[in-house]
Amino acid sequence: MNRSIAAALWLGLSALAAGPALPGEAGDAVFAERGPWSLKGRDLRWIVHVEGPETPGFLPIDAGSLTLTEATDPSDRQPILQLVQKTDTRTRQIGPFPISGGDPVLTFFLEQTTRDMARLTGGSPFYIRNRIKEAIFGGGRIDRSGDGTVASFQPFAQDPNAARMKGFQTLTLTFVLGDPKQPIRELRAETQGGQPGYLNRMALQ
């Protein structure tokens, strides 16, 4: 699946050397075609930790998880994907997602970061989502070493509204990648400098 289809999925939910990536290169690495998914009874689990300032509606997570699992659609008996989110206080199921679709975990991570930033800054989630999408598809940085690749983005570094972003103008999105067909090893959104800052980290177990 190409990155435009994966981006549509997200929006529907409302290096041997180091250096700046070619336009679209870092985004292509993050949105690489990982489907069709075939878990074969082996669930994939990411440990989740989210922290930030105390604000109504914001949910910090000390020791949560996100599990990608395969299920059967009762309407046509075809395989589908489900996400199971566990936080410190609740468990919920998210989906279904198509087997041949984009990366549901990436979709979840980007949407959670977007909504957290909107809650913590009072900004528009539509504006935030679009700036993140533009950053991922238009720039970024790639670092490669051994069998791993790290793609990173700073969506709001030059944003005209940076002064009102309460530290999120320093937000860096980081993705630790292996083989393009394999799940993303780590997804991280983190601000720098301000206290308390924001951190959303998901690490594959």
| pLDDT at residue number 10 | 52
- Where do we find the tokens 């395969």? 70
Give the chain's mean pLDDT: 87
Residue 195 has pLDDT above 90, yes or no: no
Q: Which domain holds residue 55?
A: 3-204
Residue 17 has pLDDT above 50, yes or no: no
| pLDDT at residue number 5 | 41
**Of 45-49, 112-116, 125-129, 180-184, which gets the smallest average pLDDT?**
180-184
Question: In the sheet that 199-204 helps form, which strands lie side by side, from edge to edge?
Answer: 18-20, 141-145, 148-153, 172-177, 186-190, 199-204, 44-51, 61-72, 79-86, 91-98
* Residue closest to 175 by CA, chosen among 21, 2, 11: 21
Instruction: For residue 49, name the pLDDT band (cuts at 50, 70, 90).
Output: very high
The secondary structure element, H or E, covering residue 163 is none
42-49: average pLDDT: 96
Whether 168 contacts 161, CB under 8 Å: no
| pLDDT at residue number 22 | 54
101-108: average pLDDT: 92
| pLDDT at residue number 171 | 97
| pLDDT at residue number 194 | 67
> In 10 A of CB 93, how many CB atoms?
12
* Residue closest to 159 by CA, chosen among 149, 169, 174: 169
Here the tokens at position 184 are 């993303």
| More reliable by pLDDT, 145 or 50 | 50
Is the model's pTM score more than 0.75? yes
**Of 20-29, 35-44, 69-78, which gets the smallest average pLDDT?**
20-29
- Number of structural domains found in the chain: 1
Q: What is the Cα–Cα distance from 92 to 95, expressed in whole angstroms?
A: 10
